[in-house]
Amino acid sequence: MKQVRPKKNLGQHFLTDLSIAKRIADTVDACPNIPVLEVGPGMGVMTQYLVEKPRPFKVVEIDRESVEYLNEHFPKLRENILGEDFLRMDLQEVFGGCQFVLTGNYPYDISSQIFFKMIDNRDLIPCCTGMIQREVALRIASEPGNKQYGILSVLIQAWYDVEYLFTVEPGVFNPPPKVQSAVIRMTRNKVQQLGCDENLFKRVVKTSFNQRRKMLRVSLKQMLTDMSMINASQFATLRPEQLTISQFVELTNLVEKVLCANTNA
């Protein structure tokens, strides 16, 4: 079978450098002894190294042409090639409810959605590695006070420790993307409960960063009609990029207190 044609609508940029493919595949070794799920293997440039590791391994690929290619070139993987959309999958069913490492050369346009799904399934995914757009990787790994620090930084770092591993230049892809790429690893931290309403936490974080240049006493008006408690707090004159995760938890509890007071008024 001829090589798979990269499809723009799927955001496909096939990695062609084998040494980099092996380096990415080896990032899963930091979380040994559990299965691995590769997202978007394409023509299997990483798959060829992952399949040799002594642990259960599956791939999920939405592109039918790629699925045919993988079936032909990786016959021993045939029963473990899932022709599905990762974002629609029930991850409990992939390895029978067992934990697994998530990895891949992720499509740039859905990488954030993939990581939000990882967060929702954090008890199943103790480790996630892979390649994404460098700008997004910097955002995920950023600390408070940096201009890259934002929604992804807070929501992911609340549950995972993030490592920016290395940068990948555009010339090692077919077709070359217009941006640099980066490889990261996210390892589940020890946090089991945030200490606040988790859904409200997400709302507070997203609402705060929707107007990231404004003080919180301005941006939170989208959520609250009575701002007196916020205005009297330490958060009033802060901007969202100044808050640590624990401060966002504290802010969430304050917002909940305001919402409850308004409901009971």
Q: What CATH number corresponds to the domain at position 239? A: 1.10.8
Q: Tell me: the pLDDT tens digits for 90-139?
A: 999 999 999 999 999 998 889 999 999 999 999 999 999 999 999 999 99
The total of structural domains in the chain comes to 2
Question: Which residue, 133, 168, 188, sits at the end of a domain?
Answer: 188
Domain for residue 1, yes or no? no
Give residue 1's pLDDT band: very low, low, confident or very high (50, 70, 90).
very low
User: Span 40-52, mean pLDDT?
Assistant: 95
The pLDDT of residue 177 is 85
63 and 40 in one domain?
Answer: yes
Give residue 167's pLDDT band: very low, low, confident or very high (50, 70, 90).
very high
- pLDDT at residue 202 tops 50: yes
Average pLDDT across the chain, whole number: 93
**How many C-beta atoms surround the C-beta of residue 2 within 10 A?**
6
- pLDDT at residue 5 tops 80: no
Confidence (pTM): 0.93
The pLDDT of residue 174 is 83
The pLDDT of residue 176 is 85
Q: Tell me: the pLDDT tens digits for 11-21?
A: 667 899 999 99
121 and 13 in one domain?
Answer: yes
231 and 123 in one domain?
Answer: no
The pLDDT of residue 134 is 97
